[in-house]
Structure 1
Amino acid sequence: MTPRVLTGDRPTGPLHLGHYFGTLRNRVRLQHDYDMIVIIADYQVLIDRDVADRLGETVDGLLLDYLAAGLDPGCTTIFTHSAVPALNQLLLPFLSLVSVPELQRNPTVKDEIQHSRQSSVSGLMFTYPVHQAADILFCKGNLVPVGQDQLPHIEMTRTVARRFNERYGPVFPIPEGLLSDAPLLPGTDGRKMSKSRGNAIALSAGPDEVARLVKGATTDADRHISYDPEGRPGVSGLVQLAALCLDRDPSELAGEIGDAGAAVLKRTVTEAVNEFLAPMRERRAAYAKDMQFVRNLLKSGNARANELADQTLREVQVAMGTNY
């Protein structure tokens, strides 16, 4: 059987270059050799906010981002969390397999809580890693392309799968995480690129927006450009971004700019990013002209995801003895 990849995103806004180099590039690379399943985790939008504003619009945007980035609608299944009841039904037995301290120790949950916009944290926040385990295991995913900050979730999924198999019998594979070459891409302020931090360059950004964002990026007082992520995070983040877009070594690129200073660095980054995003802009514009096709793609994905989830839930019920 063809190995299966499960990956996805929460529809909280436009995807950015950190998403692309962190996970999207791997999805595009793997999609023709694996059974690629991509989840739009719309239920999980609620983990760090009171309401999910304009969710339909955001889901449409995410679909366009996926297609613009190069996901092939002919071989990739894309579906939404809320459309697959059997997937979400797995959450209850999975929660019985983990302890509250294990959930509290999860570093990704801690980070989400720290950056949450809510005055208090919902129970859904703490169940987030187990919900992600259900996302991966409902389709028996073998490989999960992730950024480095998501590795704790993969380990939680592996724990849930092992404990279920030990308690009830072998049902689930033990998935592996796949890190990209650039698991953590700095944003325009030198910190991890993130929508919530306002330091991201969206895949849908136009040339003028890219120029504006790069122009306002953080540098430092040293005119000489060098690649030193620890000592010079702002400058080094810009160097890394240009290097990734140009498929260059960041140290060599920094050396070429040298004493030319931050102005030349920012011009280099702007040109590199705009050239890199140009084909994505063309694909996005083409798909945006036929949103009915895009939405039908999601309907087909939802139908297949339901078939997979129903089959897995039947196996779980048999294993647990709840198939009355």
Structure 2
Amino acid sequence: MTTETDPTAYDPSSHTEQSTSEQSTATAEDDAAVGDALAASTSDASLARTILRSAQIEKEIDQDASRFRVLTGDRPTGNLHLGHYFGTLRNRVLLQQRGVETFILIADYQVIADRDGVGPIKERVYSLLADYLAAGMDPEATTIFTHSSVPALNQLMLPFLSLVTDSELRRNPTVKAEFEATGGRPMSGLLLTYPVHQAADILFCKANLVPVGKDQVPHLEQARVIARRFDERYGRSDASTPIFPPPEPLLSEAASLLGTDGTKMSKSKGNTIELGMDADTTAKVLKKAVTDADRTITYDPANRPEVSNLVLLAALSSGRDPQEIAAEIGDGGGGTLKKVVTEAVNEHFAPIRARRAEVAADQGYLEQVLARGNERANEIATATLDEVRTAMQMTY
């Protein structure tokens, strides 16, 4: 994402005075501008600027964490696994410890964006919550809430939808990626408007930071576009500050782990090690992990992805260098490697699993945490919606 680029070449003051043909031309130009912005956000130059800005934000957090508010979250489609932990959960805990106000969304409405039903969603919501708490998220410092419990957040979708076009949404990288994952089945309206719902998630609490990987930077651009367009059309009369601060990406150096079969780690593939697994189950899963025929263990992700993935997992779990671990195992082969990984994983996650078992067994506590988070999110969402309705002159 390019922070200096304004992709909204949009003039609301003259829009109402245009003829139908002029409006069509303006809309096409608008869509093209936003499409260019989304494409530009993936360019090498733009990514370089984003990396530099993200590094600057890290320093600013150390100087004054109170300036920032983070929004992040997950869909409750299954239990969290080690990929989630090393990819996102650990970073969330670190941000919390540094004093950044954090909102974590359990996106239950988004489960039905590309599915015919919700499945055992209540069980999964509380499982997700138990994973968060076990990993170190503190409900006294972090607001954890569910989509469906915050009506005002979802109501923001209506004015936000008026600020985007159909063709713009269809070109959005988030929609394209989600649609491809459906296997070609017809796209639901909720899936098509996914980026707008995502914008409402971010903007309802006026989050100004969203932790993302480098490949997810374009997904944040739509929220920035909506924030700008709303301010251009309905902004404050004194124009001193925008109603919605444009959210910025906070790049995380998240470790990318493969599944135990050597392919992308996915709950649906059954190639994961879940946070809630016990030590024996973890050992059985890792015993079946794919390696290769070379007995000499090396850390070479490009040429030996399966072996290197296991070495990396051991390194992440033990806080050591993967090259060092590979050298120690030497010609011990896959069996020794799997033993080393199993010991490292089980040792690292033993306290997390103990904490998870404790909180998961206390349903009353989980309900209390979620109720408190939903209450806090509702207070903020209602205040934001009131502000939006005032800006739109819809207070009666």
TM-score normalised to structure 2 length:
0.77
Alignment of 1:92-131 (within 5 A): 92-116=158-182, 119-131=185-197
- CA 1:171–1:236 in 2, change beyond 3 Å: closer, same or farther? same
Contact 1:133/1:153, CA 8 A, preserved across alignment: no
- CA 1:25–1:100 in 2, change beyond 3 Å: closer, same or farther? same
SS of 1:236's equivalent in the other structure is: helix
Determine the C-alpha separation between the residues in 2 that align with 1:110 and 1:213. 33
Contact 1:47/1:124, CA 8 A, preserved across alignment: yes
How far apart are 1:118 and its partner, in Å? 8.1
Determine the C-alpha separation between the residues in 2 that align with 1:9 and 1:148. 18
- Provide the residue aligned with 2:283 in structure 1: 211
- Provide the residue aligned with 1:190 in structure 2: 262
Contact 1:148/1:183, CA 8 A, preserved across alignment: no
How far apart are 1:37 and its partner, in Å? 1.2
How far apart are 1:214 and its partner, in Å? 1.3
Contact 1:12/1:45, CA 8 A, preserved across alignment: yes
- Provide the residue aligned with 2:225 in structure 1: 159
Q: CA offsets, 1:201-232, max 9 Å, x none?
A: 11111112211221222222222222222222
1:224 aligns with 2:299: no
SS of 2:193's equivalent in the other structure is: helix
Determine the C-alpha separation between the residues in 2 that align with 1:66 and 1:214. 24
Contact 1:48/1:118, CA 8 A, preserved across alignment: no
- Provide the residue aligned with 2:85 in structure 1: 20
Determine the C-alpha separation between the residues in 1 that align with 2:265 and 2:287. 16
Structure number with greater Rg is 2
How far apart are 1:156 and its partner, in Å? 2.1
Contact 2:173/2:219, CA 8 A, preserved across alignment: no
Does 99-108 or 57-66 show the bigger shift?
99-108
Determine the C-alpha separation between the residues in 2 that align with 1:116 and 1:289. 35
Give aligned pairs, total: 324
Contact 1:148/1:184, CA 8 A, preserved across alignment: no
1:175 aligns with 2:247: yes
- Provide the residue aligned with 2:117 in structure 1: 51
SS of 1:157's equivalent in the other structure is: helix
1:3 aligns with 2:75: no
| Unaligned ranges ≥5, structure 2 | 1-65, 236-241
> What letter is aligned with 1:31?
Q
Moved over 6 A (4+): none
How far apart are 1:185 and its partner, in Å? 2.3
Determine the C-alpha separation between the residues in 2 that align with 1:107 and 1:215. 38
Contact 2:139/2:373, CA 8 A, preserved across alignment: no
SS of 1:31's equivalent in the other structure is: helix
How far apart are 1:162 and its partner, in Å? 2.2
Q: CA offsets, 1:234-283, max 9 Å, x none?
A: 11211111111111222222222232211111111111111111011111
How far apart are 1:2 and its partner, in Å? 4.7
Residue 320 of structure 2, aligned match among 232, 243, 248: 248
Residue 257 of structure 1, aligned match among 319, 329, 332: 329
| Unaligned ranges ≥5, structure 1 | none
Contact 1:140/1:173, CA 8 A, preserved across alignment: yes
- Provide the residue aligned with 1:36 in structure 2: 102
Contact 1:8/1:40, CA 8 A, preserved across alignment: yes
Contact 1:21/1:180, CA 8 A, preserved across alignment: no
TM-score normalised to structure 1 length:
0.93
Q: Which has the higher contact order (CA 8 A, sep 6+)?
A: 1
Contact 1:147/1:184, CA 8 A, preserved across alignment: no
- Provide the residue aligned with 2:55 in structure 1: none
SS of 1:11's equivalent in the other structure is: coil
Q: Give the fraction of aligned pairs with identical amino acids, expressed as a percent.
A: 62
SS of 1:226's equivalent in the other structure is: coil
Contact 2:213/2:253, CA 8 A, preserved across alignment: no
1:308 aligns with 2:373: no
Determine the C-alpha separation between the residues in 1 that align with 2:183 and 2:117. 11
> What letter is aligned with 1:124?
L
Contact 1:50/1:118, CA 8 A, preserved across alignment: no
Contact 1:48/1:117, CA 8 A, preserved across alignment: no
- CA 1:146–1:119 in 2, change beyond 3 Å: closer, same or farther? same
Q: CA offsets, 1:11-45, max 9 Å, x none?
A: 11111111111111111111140222111110001
Contact 1:223/1:261, CA 8 A, preserved across alignment: yes
| CA RMSD of superposed structures (Å) | 1.9
Q: CA offsets, 1:161-194, max 9 Å, x none?
A: 2222233222111112223322532221333322
- Provide the residue aligned with 2:27 in structure 1: none
